Structure 1
Amino acid sequence: MASRDNNDALDTKLYKIRGAQYCKDDRQTTFRVYAPRAKNVWVILTAFGREEFQIIMQKMDTGLWEATTHQAPPGRTYLYLIDDCNGKYMLRIDPVSFSVIHISEVDQIQSVVHDQTTYKWGDETWLTKRALSNPLCAPLSIYELQLKSWRNGFHQPINFRRIASELTTYCVTMGFTHVEMFGLLEHPYNWERGYIVSNYFAPYHDHGQCDDLRYLVDYLHQHDIGVIIDWVPTHFYHRHNSPWYSSSLHELDGTNMYASDNSLWGTLYFDYNKEETRRLLFGSALYWIDEMHMDGIRYDAVSQMIRRQSQDIPAAISFLRELNQTIHRVYPGVLCIAEETEGYPNLIRTMDFDMKWNIGWINDAMNLLRTPNNERPRHWHEKVLNMLNSARENNDKMILTLSHDDTDCHNRDHHKTLFACVSNGRNESEKFSDLRNFFAWQAFAPSRGHMIHMGDEIVQPISWFQRFRQGMSSVDWSLTEKQSFHSKTQQYISDLNYFYRSYPQFWQHGEQDFTMIYECGRNLIVAYHRGIYNNRRIAIIHNFSNRGYKSYDISLPTWDPNVRRIGKTVEIFNSDNLSYGGSGLFQNEKIDVVHMHSEWIFFRLAIPALATVVLEESLN
């Protein structure tokens, strides 16, 4: 691939060249579309979906077709009519559409001319701060959501601008540092999650146009909330709507410029050996950062992108490495995050990602929740200790995620919800104690951050996806309208986030700030240290059993030179707090640091059942 340079607009920033480029100075719009094998191409300007003007385009040596006109001001809808290499005529949306709209009169998605200079951003302070910071040494607490179902069902979509204030207020209240949005890219089916993508530059049409999304991102930034886009570079929507109209980019000029073979999802895999595939996707990623001010890209389904049928795909690996290196060089502070499920070795180093989702952690953690208390000691090493110890030893920087996939129960199966995972609990109190302990484990265990999916912060008993497919809001907000374990858990998540953010010991050095203190599989108790800041160190104690202790001794590792420096130690967090729905009976007003002889030093404290206690040590 050609060298990546800021001035290499055709290769890296094709959104500056292609699509409908409106010029304010002369009030003209220049259309450019890449269709090198087409015989003829026309711009069809429409009104209410019907053709109003037809403009012939001229073919350039680069394979681009071009036309300039005064008849296409911002807001004008248009399509391309392409006479492809096979002599077939078809109306197509622009593959580089900055906005698209559904025209009900003809039941079509059509492209919209847009003036990219109209929106005036107000997030300069945020962007400056982002460029000067290292996101790997900062708190990262992500709220994952699908905008089209977060507040309303997909039958009543909310515009980006209208939802901005409510979403931002909620994230600030809940203490999240970032939102991660899936279903943001244009896709053809409103009743799907949004991973079957038909256009890689336009936001999903039911939420508005690109300036509406800019407003939402800007609003979040001005309230110190980062935005991560869930990007889908592995496969694309390829089906044509009819013999004469298509919203897909497949076979635009009659040839296959992008695809390899059929994917797992009824779509087509991209072929990264094809220059146009690399160019289009490279331009899409940079567009969302450059023009839409995204703070991170989460790459969907990387496993299927880089390795299939036990064979590496070198072109995909080199594409990812080049794209991530370019993002890091041109947009410092922007995160590149991989969703990779097969454990590809040294993925971060090989492809220059910042971090990846820890799929193994969430699978084991949810299985531990499902395990009856009396059976947990048998799974102690595989489900708790191995996960804690491997975090520091693993070369890949991990986010501990609870994602939309983890609690997606399809149409009828309820077993994957968090609430279902604790069905073995003896009563509601015990079930929610187990869940509070789980969330504390996710927030405090060694990692580079954590993520929770919409609805899981209130532990709704019905899957978000079941509610979504029934046309309801994916989040059952009625659960928070009265005092209940659900509303108390929501408050707990908020406090947990703000507590995590307040202590750099959790995030200044990520998983490297971790030392095991104590473990007892018989009692299901584990304790570990998390970093030192301003001569203060954090100690975490998790109890995964349903037995509480009014007095329990946690022995400290005497080989640690800081252990003998421990002075005053105080409890600073307890998941069994009465306000969270806990018992409130195991609070530690005082922590004793006991020295027995010269060889044994231990904490003596109360430990609630199914709970997490956090201590702060002053090091003398």
Structure 2
Amino acid sequence: MTDQTVEKSTSENLAMLTDFDTGLFRSGTHYHIYNKLGSHAAEVNGRKGTYFAVWAPNARYVSVVGDFNGWNRDNSPLTARPDHSGIWEGFLPEPQKGAYYKYFIRSLSGYEVEKADPYAVHWETPPHTASVVWDLDFEWSDETWMEQRKATNALKKPISVYEVHLGSWRRKDEEEGRFLTYRELATELPEYCQYMGFTHVELLPVMEHPFYGSWGYQVTGYFAPSSRYGTPQDFMFLINALHQAGIGVILDWVPSHFPTDEHGLGYFDGTHLYEHADPRQGFHPDWKSNIFNFGRNEVRTFLISNAVYWLEKFHIDALRVDAVASMLYLDYSRNEGEWIPNRHGGRENLEAIDFLKTFNEVVHRYFPDVFTVAEESTAWPGVTHPTSEGGLGFDMKWMMGWMHDTLSYFEKDPVYRSYHQGQLTFSLVYAFSEKFTLPLSHDEVVYGKHSLIDKMPGDEWRKFANLRLLYGYMFGHPGAKLLFMGADFAQRHEWRHDFSLDWNENLHPSHNGIQKLLKDLNALYQQNPALYDKNFSPDGFEWIDNQDATNSVLSWVRKGNTEKDELIFIAHFTPNVRSNYRIGVPRPGYYREIFNTDDLKYGGTNLLNIDLIESYPIPKHGKIHSAPLTLPPLGLIVLKYERPFDWW
């Protein structure tokens, strides 16, 4: 035996597997298996080194290869556990923190491959693909945030999300456009989000991915933040800084599919271990990627423990689950004959449904103060309903219908909008069937779809007025809010992941006006309980008038827990000025305009309702009193009750 021969592990070492661990793993219920599988610092017979453990049940031989043994496949073999778990394990004294390694696997069929560690917490920087022996030691200083998070229900507070791709938010132009590191981001991103009034940052997947152009959605290293930007501790530093600034962190999480790169999870031990063997179940035609076998217990353990890992080790506040619709339907993006029905002959993926329910139950059991969000693009019932009531158990769902209908409406010339007003009002028919987030996400500003400002019709002034109106309408609509980076200052170009955002555009008054508007909308949101107290309840919303398609005007009331919290929204979707436009008001008295998207400071024409607005006993819209208003062109105004007539 050489010095590099793997020594037999001892159960006394906490990093090492026990029969109890493998029993839970095989049953699909070991939600902290990341503490045992992978590579972990250990000590055997007084010698310090690294314990390795990998699941490869169909292997005939497994060894650790790395820079510490010359990548020799024969020097450091692992031993199969005798408990039939399919796990190979062993202790090596040589590899210390920072060592590069992979597993060499020879299958029963003779297939040979070198695989990265599925549970590695750190990886080589792509295009290199080795795993790295590492630890997760970090001194957190976000106690105030974590205690506050435990004391509050996020869904009863304002949720305004800034969606960010770390590699292209900002870059070092003076250094050939290199990425900002996690620590460099920690000095800029929290400050910016705090200044703008966002409550949360949502990060496109940070898990290690070989192809940068996948934006992180083709994950190979599920337990490792991408080393493109630094170490796991550097990523912790960023999260810690965001928390200290009062900003929550949402991670995009991708349990739906994974890439086919040889070093990854696919055909891991010479068999389809993590994915289905039949391509009608195991291969995604849209993304050319593998689909997880959600019916296999060990795969369920891998994925659910991965979710727990990010919440526990990295203090993540929420997980947004990508492509849920592709998981729910066996025939998703498939033609007849290209999919296999479930045991009842239906198109529902019963194993995936059960997995999603279990995922939400486990997350909420261990972390009752975090929330989960589904990107689900169909009308699947009960996505945000409790699993005890037959739902999937998510806390929120992206309102994809609202996004598509609203953008389709705004892209139309105002001349034609009177014929399409139903595109704006339809969302309120189902707005409270689920708990919704209103997304204007990265998917809407790529691949020829144009940036948000470029989607708007008309000349330069109308484009910006329309965008201000869109944002005002979005913040007045029930639901949480999400906006992708660049839209916060009306970037003209589509998002380009290989470049920084065009921050220089924000020096132009029109672009800066959009930024000021969004900052004030976030403040309006957070300062007015009517916009969040009943964000997910029909009790928090009432139409005043949704029928005035002739003038392209909508008016509604947002309600809080008290009458004094009520806000009235009037949105006008044409470039005309409407004077003496009368709306019914909830109570007689005086109203004050507290927000106007046409304000000069935002780049508008400054057509404001400056004086107190007095109501009159003129019935309108089913109300006894009404008030006359001036509606600015392509503008939205917000009114708040000031006082009754007999106040003095």
Rounded Cα–Cα distance in structure 1 between residues aligned with 2:143 and 2:47 = 29
Rounded Cα–Cα distance in structure 1 between residues aligned with 2:376 and 2:302 = 22
**Aligned ranges for residues 203-602 of structure 1 at < 5 Å?**
203-240=225-262, 246=263, 248-260=264-276, 261-263=282-284, 264-309=286-331, 311-349=347-385, 350-380=391-421, 382-392=422-432, 395-408=433-446, 410=447, 413=448, 415-423=449-457, 425=458, 427-447=459-479, 449-464=480-495, 467-468=496-497, 471-473=498-500, 475-480=501-506, 482-512=507-537, 513-519=540-546, 520-533=548-561, 535-556=564-585, 563-564=586-587, 566-596=588-618, 600-602=624-626
Deviations 1:88-113 (A, max 9, x none): 3322110001010138xxx6321111
Partner of 1:123: 142
Task: State the 1:301 CA deviation.
Answer: 0.4
Contact 1:142 1:451 survives alignment (8 Å): yes
Task: State the 1:457 CA deviation.
Answer: 1.3
Secondary structure at the aligned position of 1:227 is classed as strand
Task: State the 1:616 CA deviation.
Answer: 1.1
Contact 1:158 1:206 survives alignment (8 Å): no
The letter of the residue matching 2:327 is M
The letter of the residue matching 2:349 is I
Task: State the 1:417 CA deviation.
Answer: 2.2
Contact 1:147 1:183 survives alignment (8 Å): no
**Residue segments in structure 1 that go unaligned for 5+ positions in a row:** 241-245, 557-562
Rounded Cα–Cα distance in structure 2 between residues aligned with 1:597 and 1:127 = 51
Contact 1:588 1:606 survives alignment (8 Å): no
1 or 2, which has the higher strand percentage? Answer: 1
Contact 1:259 1:269 survives alignment (8 Å): yes
Partner of 2:108: 85
Secondary structure at the aligned position of 2:90 is classed as strand
Secondary structure at the aligned position of 1:324 is classed as helix
The letter of the residue matching 1:540 is F
* TM-score normalised per structure 2: 0.86
Deviations 1:456-477 (A, max 9, x none): 112222110xx33xx322x111
Rounded Cα–Cα distance in structure 1 between residues aligned with 2:162 and 2:633 = 28
Residue 186 of structure 1 pairs with residue 208 of structure 2: yes
* TM-score normalised per structure 1: 0.90
Partner of 1:559: none
The letter of the residue matching 1:478 is N
Rounded Cα–Cα distance in structure 2 between residues aligned with 1:479 and 1:109 = 38
- Pair 1:550–1:477, CA change in 2 (3 A): same
Contact 1:45 1:52 survives alignment (8 Å): no
- Percent of residue pairs bearing the same amino acid type: 31
Secondary structure at the aligned position of 2:536 is classed as helix
Q: 2:123 aligns with which of 100, 113, 125?
A: 100
Partner of 1:174: 196
Rounded Cα–Cα distance in structure 2 between residues aligned with 1:536 and 1:90 = 64
Contact 1:272 1:316 survives alignment (8 Å): yes
Deviations 1:140-163 (A, max 9, x none): 000111101111289622221121
Which 10-residue stretch deviates more, 185-194 or 164-173? 185-194
The letter of the residue matching 2:493 is I
Partner of 1:55: 76
Partner of 2:639: 615
Rounded Cα–Cα distance in structure 1 between residues aligned with 2:69 and 2:62 = 22
Task: State the 1:231 CA deviation.
Answer: 0.6
Partner of 1:146: 165
**Residue segments in structure 2 that go unaligned for 5+ positions in a row:** 1-20, 277-281, 333-346, 386-390
Task: State the 1:51 CA deviation.
Answer: 5.6
Q: Once superposed, what is the RMSD of the aligned Cα atoms?
A: 2.5
Aligned length: 585
Rounded Cα–Cα distance in structure 2 between residues aligned with 1:206 and 1:53 = 32
Deviations 1:260-297 (A, max 9, x none): 22102010111211222211111111111111111111
Rounded Cα–Cα distance in structure 1 between residues aligned with 2:293 and 2:256 = 9
Secondary structure at the aligned position of 1:150 is classed as coil
- Pair 1:596–1:190, CA change in 2 (3 A): closer
Contact 1:132 1:332 survives alignment (8 Å): no
Rounded Cα–Cα distance in structure 2 between residues aligned with 1:33 and 1:155 = 38
Contact 2:533 2:560 survives alignment (8 Å): no
